Amino acid sequence: MTQKHVFISGRVQGVYYRDYTRREAEKLGIKGWVRNLPDGRVEAVFEGPEDTVENMVAWCYQGSPRSEVIKVEVAKSNPQLKENFIDFKITR
């Protein structure tokens, strides 16, 4: 199991990016959350098997059909700070 903290920049708010992220995460069995940030970026935490989390991060470069992703920043989360997620949520 691994966890990645991701920040997505570009035209990613108001284009259903979070909803498409939730759908893809549920399809892959990823747990965690996604939210909009005040600065226009989207932030997400993905938790699951390493190869599946990598697939989810790769999907972030594509995003929703109306999004225009410019940049995806990825940080491996600190294992001591890992949460025990039970599903994937859109949060505030």
55 is catalytic: no
Residue-by-residue DSSP string for 24-74: HHHHHT-EEEEEE-TTS-EEEEEEE-HHHHHHHHHHHTT-STT-EEEEEEE
35 is catalytic: no
Catalytic residue, candidates 18, 23, 78, 84: 18
Catalytic residue, candidates 36, 55, 78, 92: 36
Which contiguous run of DSSP H or E holds residue 79? none
What residues act catalytically? 18, 36
